[in-house]
Structure 1
């Protein structure tokens, strides 16, 4: 299987952030052991295990296999976090999962001191990087960096940085990148509802202006939704497919119930949700995308 295009990884930096979080989520020490134990909960099976001693042997084998997998995962994760730069949001989510993981390893009686030390060292390293980022969050220029983040991504968009995607896909890509970066950090840490509202309104205005630029219309002009939801790019088919699969992965947490428009666009469902209109103007379209991408004034991914 071919690796993902380097161009896609470069243009969608949040892929590595989401991958880091998903990877740590996948290191579940307790789940597999509990599942096997539950399968033997039937009294007859437990009785047979008691007579034959197979239950203890089986548990020992499970513990050994999980320890091997855990050590390999932690070693690879440590190397990755040292070599790559991750967003503050990704590091925060990873720290929470590592804390949970450290609690779960108490299920393993044979959890080695070396592996425990590896896990503790990784948590200390990530916490150290978070402390440095926390200082940045207290700087007076955090709000300015949030606005600059929006300006940078919009300018890249205007330069056809993501022109192989539909307008709707581009909107999600931009918002997703903002959520993982300085803009998202500001919205999550800012205690002023007024400041959060101003930033989101600025973002919405910039998105409306771009939609009007690319369509040649006005904010109130109505379009067939296909103009906004379908890609018209004739770019390299493999690259386009990589972009679309990457966006689908980034949007894997969306639900048809809560984000029907974005879910319809990114997950390529067969039937069109009733909540997705057939005619939209730029104001309504961008407003819908923003509503599905925010919760209580914070960008969500």
Structure 2
């Protein structure tokens, strides 16, 4: 297991690239959303250096005015959407963010004609990309894609790919992989019955793997800190920051289990059960992520 941990970086998670592009759109320009923690911000900044390029960021940082312009944001978004984000969910959210950015920019700035044209161009490109991805769903067995994706993700968990996280953190990471990928597409574009079946499959696998990770039955109860404890590895701090970033938008009241799992630097949410089994923990987290 230790040799496997050394070869797997949190950035290798498929959901990281998708969420990063969405966060870049949300945290740029006049529609900027603030981070809920320094851990989330720190991890995002390191991702920026990798996905955009440290030397390029340093060059742009010399001109703070440039960093605030719509032209800068749109130019980088265009590159990221071509190179980094591949899935429908991310593209659809980025499209909505650009539309909001365009409306907000028009209200607060006296935009040049070139800027308005650039917004229109990027919106059209994103709309075409989203439509193309949606067209690919036609005639596709979404349930089969969702099942295969689900099995792949939980096979990685079982093989130790998420072992640098806490047991509960591994569950959250696995569910985020599903949320941003083909499994999530199947939930949103399939029938209600298909979506229910897929969620129940994920629930059963999450509960089973959580129990295996703590070498207990699915109904054996443990104090919450056993579920939230990170293994002592060289990757522990990065894993904590990555988990905080992945769950940065978790609400302590609406998603208490996910909040307690990801925001370990804060106090445990009141809705997090102090003693819980794999069945209770996994089932609650599945509901919080997919409902």
Task: Answer yes or no: same fold by TM over 0.5.
Answer: yes
The 8 Å contact of residues 30 and 107 in structure 1, kept in 2 or not, is answered as: no
* Larger CA deviation: 201-210 vs 277-286: 277-286
Match of 2:168 in 1: 168
The 8 Å contact of residues 253 and 271 in structure 2, kept in 1 or not, is answered as: no
* TM-score, normalised relative to structure 2: 0.78
Match of 2:223 in 1: 224
For 1:1-301, list aligned pairs within 5 A: 7-10=9-12, 12-29=13-30, 69-107=69-107, 110-190=110-190, 192-231=191-230, 233-236=231-234, 239-295=235-291
* TM-score, normalised relative to structure 1: 0.76
The 8 Å contact of residues 26 and 97 in structure 2, kept in 1 or not, is answered as: yes
The 8 Å contact of residues 29 and 66 in structure 1, kept in 2 or not, is answered as: no
Count of aligned pairs: 253
The 8 Å contact of residues 136 and 142 in structure 1, kept in 2 or not, is answered as: no
Compared CA separation, residues 117 and 222, structure 1 to 2 (3 A) = same
Question: In terms of Rg, which structure is larger?
Answer: 1
Question: How far did residue 68 of structure 1 move?
Answer: 6.8
- CA offsets per residue over residues 161-202 of structure 1, 9 Å max, x none? 011111100111111111111111111222x32221111111
Question: How far did residue 110 of structure 1 move?
Answer: 4.1
In structure 2, what is the Cα distance between the partners aligned to 1:289 and 1:30? 30
The 8 Å contact of residues 95 and 127 in structure 2, kept in 1 or not, is answered as: yes
Q: 3-state SS of the aligned residue for 1:280?
A: strand
Gaps of 5+ in 1: 32-64, 296-301
Compared CA separation, residues 223 and 134, structure 1 to 2 (3 A) = same
The 8 Å contact of residues 67 and 111 in structure 1, kept in 2 or not, is answered as: no
Compared CA separation, residues 225 and 139, structure 1 to 2 (3 A) = same
In structure 1, what is the Cα distance between the partners aligned to 2:109 and 2:181? 40
The 8 Å contact of residues 261 and 275 in structure 1, kept in 2 or not, is answered as: yes
Question: How far did residue 118 of structure 1 move?
Answer: 2.3
In structure 2, what is the Cα distance between the partners aligned to 1:109 and 1:267? 37
